[in-house]
Amino acid sequence: MRRKLAAGNWKMNGLAADLAELEKMAAAKPSPSVDTAICGPATLVHRMAALGWPVGGEDCHAAASGAHTGDISAEMLADAGATYVITGHSERRADHGETDADVNAKTQAAWRAGLTAILCIGETEAEYRAGDTLDVLHRQMAGSMPEGCTGANTVLAYEPVWAIGTGLTPTSDEIGAVHNALRDALIERFGTEAGLAIRILYGGSVKASNAAEIFGIADVDGALVGGASLKAVDFLPIVDALEAAD
């Protein structure tokens, strides 16, 4: 059985004062029955890790060290206490021109450091409107996912770009169709055992009001949550909904 995961992505948000939100989460749910993680800015990862809630980084460099001013390696994140790292988020692909090959290399770097990669794929609104969603996702999977993906080292996150932070979400039928297709593709690529073990998260305007419906869809193993992960009062109901669906 795949263990469900509720992961938060704080993006470029979070100062020391905001650690109080993570403290509230840890105090309210010291031992949730599902996996949880908050992926925070590099400046906070070490302090977040000390609060008793699993944490991750939002990105990493493919190299372990070197002349890469301003970058952070997977090893540095692990040393700071992270257990996860996000790779291939659409904002990295769009804002920094990251290619599938870049995402592939960063994912392998995560494994090298002992981190679990939360690898993101997703289509733009134009691609969605053109009916190209599955073609885009299959292409991103082929280029971004290294050989050797397993349920232990990789989580796949489907985030339709047009739904991130917009308040829009695909219909339940659309999410279900995409996740079913992704599951089939994972099995075809990595074999039945690994393909069934890799968790597939949904991301894109997930909030307390729609979490239960989304988590009731087959092959949705949790969520990668953006804005609603910044506050305990918003994120904990999503964790509750995932526990209820488990």
- 189-211 pLDDT, tens per residue? 999 999 999 999 999 999 999 99
Q: Tell me the C-alpha to C-alpha distance, in Å, between residue 219 and each of 46, 137, 164, 216.
A: 33, 16, 20, 9
Whole-number average pLDDT of the chain: 97
Q: Do 61 and 53 contact (CB within 8 A), yes or no?
A: no
pLDDT on residue 47: 98
CATH number for the domain spanning 138: value is: 3.20.20.70
Chain centroid to CA 73? 18
pLDDT above 90 (res 130):
yes
pLDDT above 80 (res 77):
yes
Question: Residue 148 is part of which domain span?
Answer: 5-245
pLDDT on residue 61: 98
Q: Is 89 a catalytic residue?
A: yes
Q: Do 62 and 108 contact (CB within 8 A), yes or no?
A: yes
Q: How far apart are CA 179 and CA 78, in angstroms?
A: 30
* Token pair listed for 199: 């968790």
Banded model confidence at residue 169, pLDDT cuts 50, 70, 90: confident
Per the structure, how many domains does the chain have? 1
pLDDT digits (tens, 9 = 90+) for 1-17: 899 999 999 999 999 99
Q: How far apart are CA 156 and CA 29, in angstroms?
A: 25
pLDDT on residue 85: 99
SS3 at position 224? strand
Contacts (Cβ under 8 Å, ≥6 apart) of 245: 4, 212, 215, 216
Q: Is 179 a catalytic residue?
A: no
pLDDT on residue 29: 95
Banded model confidence at residue 181, pLDDT cuts 50, 70, 90: very high
pLDDT on residue 36: 98
pLDDT above 90 (res 167):
no
pLDDT digits (tens, 9 = 90+) for 21-51: 999 999 999 999 999 999 999 999 999 999 9
Q: How far apart are CA 196 and CA 217, in angstroms?
A: 16
Q: What secondary structure letter does DSSP report for 145?
A: S
pLDDT on residue 15: 98
Which of 21, 75, 159, 179 does the annotation list as catalytic? 159
Chain centroid to CA 210? 18
pLDDT digits (tens, 9 = 90+) for 49-74: 999 999 999 999 999 999 999 999 99
pLDDT above 80 (res 246):
no
Q: How far apart are CA 79 and CA 88, in angstroms?
A: 22
Which segments of the chain does DSSP mark as H helices, in order? Answer: 19-28, 45-49, 74-80, 90-96, 100-112, 125-129, 133-144, 172-190, 192-197, 208-215, 232-245
How much is the pTM?
A: 0.98
SS3 at position 167? coil
Mean pLDDT, rounded, for 122-129: 96
pLDDT above 80 (res 143):
yes
Q: How far apart are CA 158 and CA 164, in angstroms?
A: 11
Which of 89, 91, 98, 179 does the annotation list as catalytic? 89
